[in-house]
Amino acid sequence: MNAYHSLNSIQNAIKAGEISCLSLTQSYIKNIDSNKNLNAFIEVFTDEAIQRARQIDKKIRNGTAGKLAGMVIGIKDNICFKNHKVTASSKILEGFESLYNATVVERILAEDAIILGRLNCDEFAMGSANENTIYGPTKNPVNTKKVTGGSSGGSAAAVAANLCLAALGSDTGGSIRQPASFCGTIGIKPTYSRVSRYGLIAFASSFDQIGPITNDIEDAAIILEVIAGSDKYDSTSSLKKVEQYSGRLKNNNPKRIAVISECLQKEGLDKEINLAIINQIEKLKQKGHQVEEVTFPYLDYLVPTYYVISTAEASSNLARFDGVHYGYRSEKSDNTESTYLITRTEGFGKEVQRRIMLGTFVLSAGYHDAYYTKAQKMRRIIQDKTKEILSEYDFILTPTTPKTAFDLGLEQKDPVVMYLEDIFTVLANLSGNPAISLPLNQHSNGLPFGTQLIAKPFHEKELLSFSRNLMNSL
């Protein structure tokens, strides 16, 4: 069967009688089986997906199918799907089955998407390599000796390897865009509050957002159109009306684009990535866009600010996993205190433990004002500066990542080295702005790397439209 890279091509093929949802689903299941070495899917809902494909085929014949009919999609293992296991790739949730659907799951099912299975990720979405997982690391389909990026590495790898048409991931500090960059796919983080977080296992509640990973801009647009919007189960979700993103992506008007000069001058930025961004700037200028460098003096404060606040929120959010309510419980414990202590010690991986301890520290008496309060003040300064730049420009353009995908099993003695992989992506999470990574580039080492665009809050339509132009012209 042909490798389909867009929902439109699939739906046209179904109309032409060339394929059916059933044959398409079976083809993806076969691909997953042939690419087990990638370790992208940790569970495939084979029988259920095939049964649903038959149902969708019937709805297509009856003319009652939803707008996602023909879309076979995987979901990250921190998104709840009723009566299915969800573990956030952690031993602490071993054997747990969700009692309800995440709002995003409800919405894609209502539009007749076919959910194929659960995708590997870093434990509780904490990581930049998809190696912090009880299921073993996910391998990059472009080069299986390299990481996929994280934490939505399974989602990006599955889409890049044609194991499903699209995937849902979550982005707390770059966890959709960084793996999209490493694997050569499109990844979008919506405006904070644009998509309901109900049913997403929380890492850092003021940062987390669910978004799509695809090979096609139009697919990203239609998925976002379906999952976005207010939700009575998430009080932080925006009441702002969702625009029609799909089918309205043609906008060739000249844009004003800001390029953060500190990003291009950042020590550690790969020379080829730097040169590629400079070349893209020149091409944009030639096409009539206004592209100017701006200064952002807080670049070196982004990662420290993010990790102080996000670990504090993680410390609070992960307190519920205690061996008492649900999930894993150590058999070595013999009283309440030891149940908490031993269960959490055995159930959480080293990186999650590190972040819980750091978050607990910055919230503790005597250190709260010195770290957490100061980080929140810094976050406001970052938000104000971002708003100031975007009051004069339509988009901010940066590299998505400072480097291409690095080697699997690369042991970092200093975790800060790994944290700095988020240097360009974390800005959009701190400010709450929508951002996208586009697979516009290839390094001489054969690996892809992305270009990132950041837009004004709730300007996803403009972001997707301009991204489509870039994908077609650069």
pLDDT in tens, 280-291: 999 999 999 999
Tens digit of pLDDT for each residue in 181-236? Answer: 999 999 999 999 999 999 999 999 999 999 999 999 999 999 999 999 999 999 99
Task: Output DSSP code: residue 17.
Answer: T
260 DSSP β-pair partners = 294
Euclidean distance between CA atoms 57 and 49, whole angstroms: 12
| 130-143 mean pLDDT | 97
Q: Do strands 166-171 and 72-76 pair parallel, antiparallel, or not at all (unpaired)? A: parallel
| 176-185 mean pLDDT | 98
Which residues neighbour 36 within 8 Å (Cβ) at sequence distance 6 or greater?
none
Specify the pLDDT at position 412.
61
Average pLDDT over the chain, rounded to an integer: 96
The residue ranges of every structural domain in the chain are 7-227
Specify the pLDDT at position 59.
98
CB atoms within 10 A of CB 407: 10
Specify the pLDDT at position 413.
62
8 A C-beta contact, residue 310 and residue 201: no
CA atoms within 13 A on the CB side of 271: 1
Catalytic residues: 76, 151, 175
Which residues neighbour 311 within 8 Å (Cβ) at sequence distance 6 or greater?
204, 355, 356, 358, 359, 362
8 A C-beta contact, residue 74 and residue 155: yes
Structure tokens at 206: 């003021």
Instruction: Of 383, 411, 413, 400, give the one whose Cα is nearest residue 447.
Output: 400
8 A C-beta contact, residue 445 and residue 425: no
Residue 237's identity, in one-letter code, is S
Distance between start and end Cα atoms, the chain: 30
Residue written as tokens 């702005």? 433
Superfamily of domain 7-227: Amidase signature (AS) domain (3.90.1300.10)
The backbone torsions φ and ψ at residue 396, rounded to the nearest 5 degrees and listed phi first, read -110, 130
Euclidean distance between CA atoms 305 and 405, whole angstroms: 25
Euclidean distance between CA atoms 155 and 214, whole angstroms: 9
Q: Is the model's pLDDT at 466 over the cut of 70?
A: yes
Structure tokens at 424: 């360009």
Q: What are the helix (H) ranges across 364-434?
A: 374-390, 415-419, 426-431
Structure tokens at 214: 């695809």
Global pTM reads: 0.96
Tens digit of pLDDT for each residue in 57-72? Answer: 999 999 999 999 999 9
8 A C-beta contact, residue 103 and residue 198: yes
Structure tokens at 83: 């009566």
Instruction: Of 129, 169, 124, 120, give the one whose Cα is nearest residue 150.
Output: 129
The backbone torsions φ and ψ at residue 37, rounded to the nearest 5 degrees and listed phi first, read -60, -25
Q: Is the model's pLDDT at 433 over the cut of 90?
A: yes
Task: Output DSSP code: residue 188.
Answer: E
pLDDT band at 161, cuts 50/70/90? very high
Instruction: Of 300, 290, 298, give the one whose Cα is nearest residue 397.
Output: 290
Specify the pLDDT at position 473.
81
Specify the pLDDT at position 419.
77
List C-alpha distances in Å: 186 to 11, 204, 272, 357, 449. 20, 23, 20, 34, 11
Tens digit of pLDDT for each residue in 77-88? Answer: 999 999 999 999
The backbone torsions φ and ψ at residue 389, rounded to the nearest 5 degrees and listed phi first, read -65, -45
List C-alpha distances in Å: 17 to 182, 218, 334. 36, 23, 63
Euclidean distance between CA atoms 25 and 54, whole angstroms: 10
